Structures are given as C-alpha cells and as structure tokens.
Amino acid sequence: MKNEGMYDCIGIGIGPYNLSLAALMDERTDLKVRFFDKTPEFQWHPGMLIDLTDLQVPFIADLVTFANPQSRYSYLNYLHNHNRLYKFFFFHKFEMPRQEYNDYARWVVKQLPHCQFHSEVVGVKDNGDHYEVEVYNRRTDEREVYQAKHVVMGTGSKPLIPDDMGGHPSEDVHHTSRYLFHKETTMDSPSITIIGSGQSAAEVFYDLLKEQKEHPYKLSWLTRSEGILQLESSKLGQEFFAPDYVDYFHSLSFEKRLKALDTLDQLRNGIDMDTLNNIYNILYNHSVSESAPDIVIQPLTEVNQISKQGDHYALSCHQWQEEKDFTYTSGKIILATGYVPNIPPWFHDAFGDRIVWEDEKRFKVTRDYKLVFKDEEDRDHHFYTVTNLEHSHGAGATNLGLAVDRNIAIINDICGEEVYKVQRHTIFSQFSMDEYPS
C-alpha cells in the first residue's frame, strides 16, 4: 500500500465545497493536502445542466472570491483566461449560466494536482493523534493508505427517492438528477408527470414545456405544496444567507434551530421568479391556439405510491386539503423529491459511538465545522464536515454563497491563525438582542 507520510489535511469528496477548500488551501503553500473523489472527473449535477439555466446565486459566490478577490481561481479570472470577460460584461446578468459554472469548476480542478479522481475513500481510522485514510484507486485497482492530521468530509448529497416510488426501470421513473440522461426517451412517451416542487421541478417542467409542440405528450406537474410558489428573493430576505445569521442560528438550541428552519422554508424551497414567468409566458401563448398542448398543474396533491399497470404507471394520489384519494396515470415519471445528506457507509462504524449526536440522524457540529467527539478535550486532530449541516448551520448549509465562509473557518482553525479574514457585521439585519448597544 502507498504511504506518502503525514498530510495536514485530506478532503473526502470533490464537489464545489471541497473544491473551494482545495483552491484556497493551494494558495497556502506550506499546507500538504490531498482530495479524493470516486467519480472519473468533476461534473456538477450533469443530469441538470439544462440549456439556458442559471445558478441561483450571483457570480461573486464562486470558489474563492469571498476569501480572496485577487485569487487566480476566481470566476472573473476564468472569464479573462477564456477571452469571455467582455461577453459576460455585455451579458448584463449577475448570475452565471449553470453550464459555465461547471466549466469554470473543471478549469480550477485542472490546476490542482492534489485533487485525485477515480479514488474512493473506503475507510477512516482514528489513530489517536492523526487519521488513517484508506483509498481504493479505481485506476490501478489498488488500496492506498494516507496519514492526515485533519480530515474534511465534503460528500454532498444524494437523490431522495421515497420507498414507494422506487424499484422501477430508470428510463421510466427517475430523479431529476438523471433528467438529461433520459430526456430523449422520456419525450417519446404519450404522457409525462413531474412529482415534487422547487426549482428543479420547475426547470424540468419548463424544459419539457418548450419541447411540447414538437412532441405531443401530456405534461403534468403534481406537488403536495400549497402552491407553485416563488422563492423569497428580496434583498433583506437574502441576508439570512449571510455568515452573521449562521452565527446566530448556531447559537440556538437544537429544538429552536429545527423550528427556525420551518419558518425559512420559502427562502430555501421556492422557485426563481424568472423561471415562473417563463413558464407562464409559454402557457399563455399556447392557450391562444385551439389545439393547445395538454397541460396539468396541480398543487395540494401528495403522491404516495407508484405502481406499474400495463404500459403505463398508476400514481396513488391524495388531495390533502379536500381529503380525496384518486389514481393518476402516466407513461414516464420524473421525481423532483429532493436530496438527503450523502454519508459514507464507513462513517457510522468508524465514529458513530465516539461522537455526540443531537438526534438519531444528526451529529453535533461546532461553529467551525468540527464533529464533536466525546473525548473532545484531549483532541488536537479534527474531523471537519461540510455535509449534513442544515440542523447546525441553517438554511445556508447547502448554499454555494456560504461555501467560502465555511472553508475560511476550517483553514483558519487548521492553521491556528487568520489565514483568510473573517467577514462579519457586513449586513443591515441583526438577529440577537446581544447585538444591541448597551
């Protein structure tokens, strides 16, 4: 097995969060780091890189700018290197196209030799004063062992498919994360139903709506939500995604944090106004024709089960406000049922009994993203996580705009000094009575 000595930090997973960490650590040349991901290459939600869709955060929320606007890994430097700066200038939008964000991240990855793909972390062992990380190298079919003072788990999320909706052929019933992989065969069906709410559901509905006149399918959208509701995008509302609010949220008790998440639901799960307007514009223009495409949009409707019936699928539905059950049929089904934290299979065996849990699924995490171990007082080697943080750090736990602030906290803690300046008191809102002057 390979043994390359002690690393300061090993990152598990190379999604946007750990890629940001890798880029920021690369600028600290005295740190010896390595990042692993089991996939062949960096691809950010490849099944949802739909044409003409944008990120829901401004371009300033790239991988590095909130820590170091002068970084060579900034989005603006990417544009400059690709002779696209003037094009973006005349683009007159604050948001970057989703496909370009993926290309930008891949450009950063190519400059970071310490990012290793085709490499799955299959175990982490606590050796008392450091961690032993076991990696399966899929290129060489060999096991490799690395020693690290600290570990950062950035394994992201995985699609949530409810038990009563799974088990069907993926070309017929699939999650939005697989949408583009099955789009062509999906459009061959006489009927398509999207289940769920939120931005992903709206983008898939909009994309299929644009194609509908060329493919005579019935297009349906069923969601248990009270309505097809817009994302709260006011400027003051967005301040809940600032580090100052994360400080306040983390200081609350576990029970109060869970209640706070419910009150912020429209900040997290609504739909972008432009997407909703684009959908309505197509619906309105289609309605002029007597042969308008067949469309169903129905909120207030839970889908409890999907079963195969002949050449189509039967959806067992419940209109929860009227308390009425009914069956809906469809040839193809796309599940916009969200995501859950992707916790590696070895995690519970390695740390389940050694860390503090806030409930049966959610571990306790410090403000600077360290798992809390039961022997915390004797610990100088740390296991950081940027996965499964919603309960501890709030609605912004999955927000790209806060990724850099998370990594600033981790890097400063590892180095024991302020490598990157911590930005606080940068918004107009305040959340705690402690913030009032005496």
Per residue in 12-32, pLDDT (tens digit) is 999 999 999 999 999 887 899
Cβ atoms of 63 and 26 closer than 8 Å:
no
**pLDDT for position 435:** 64
- Does residue 113 fall inside a structural domain? yes
Q: Provide the pLDDT for residue 1.
A: 58
Residues 286 and 351 in one domain: no
Q: Say if CB 161 and CB 303 are below 8 A apart.
A: no
**Are 193 and 83 contained in the same domain?**
no
d(C-alpha 220, C-alpha 193), whole Å: 5
Do 118 and 165 belong together in one domain? Answer: no
User: Which of 305, 320, 339 is the endpoint of a domain?
Assistant: 339
Residues 97 and 16 reside in one and the same domain = yes
pTM of the model: 0.94
**Beta-carbon neighbour count of residue 254 at 10 Å?**
12
Q: Are residues 140 and 165 in the same domain?
A: no
- Residue 429 sits at φ, ψ, to 5 deg, of -80, 150
Q: Give the single-character DSSP code of 313.
A: E
Asked whether residue 236 is domain-assigned, the answer is no
What three-state secondary structure class fits 278? helix
Are both 128 and 180 inside the same structural domain? no
Same domain, 274 and 386: no
As a whole number of angstroms, the distance between CA 415 and CA 259 comes to 35
Alpha-carbon gap, residue 110 to 87, rounded angstroms: 23
CA distance 85 to 181: 31
Domain assignment present for residue 147? The answer is: yes
| Confidence (pLDDT) at 398 | 87
| CA-based end-to-end distance of the chain | 61
- Note whether 177 and 292 are same-domain residues: yes
Q: Kindly report the number of other CB atoms within 10 A of residue 392's CB atom.
A: 22
> Are 322 and 430 part of one and the same domain?
no
The domain of 356 spans 6-156+342-435
Q: Closest Cα partner for 116 from 243, 227, 22, 7? A: 22
Encoded amino acid at 390, one letter: E
pLDDT on residue 395: 84
Residue 254's identity, in one-letter code, is F
CATH code at position 178: 3.50.50.60
Copy the structure tokens of residue 26.
């690369």
- Tokens encoding 374: 């039961």
Q: Answer whether residue 376 is part of any domain.
A: yes
Q: 200 and 290 share a domain?
A: yes
Last residue of a domain, one of 320, 339, 358: 339
Residue 366 covered by a domain: yes
Token digits for 47? 């099944």
pLDDT of residue 434: 76
What residues have CB less than 8 Å from 174, skipping those under 6 apart? 181, 182, 333, 334, 335
β-strands 95-97, 33-36 pairing? unpaired
Q: Is residue 82 part of a domain?
A: yes
Structural domains in the chain (count): 2
What integer pLDDT is reported at residue 375 of this predicted model?
83
Are 118 and 143 part of one and the same domain?
A: yes
Q: What residues of the chain score a pLDDT lower than 50?
A: none
Phi then psi dihedrals of residue 207, to 5 deg: -65, -45
Edge-to-edge strands of the sheet including 295-298? 173-175, 332-336, 191-196, 218-222, 295-298
Instruction: Indicate if 28 and 103 belong to the same structural domain.
Output: yes
Final residue of a domain: which of 284, 307, 339? Answer: 339
Residue 256 lies in a domain: no
**Considering just the CA atoms, what is the radius of gyration of the chain in Å?**
23
Dihedral sign computed on CA atoms, order 230, 236, 237, 243: positive
For residue 244, tell me if it sits in a domain: no
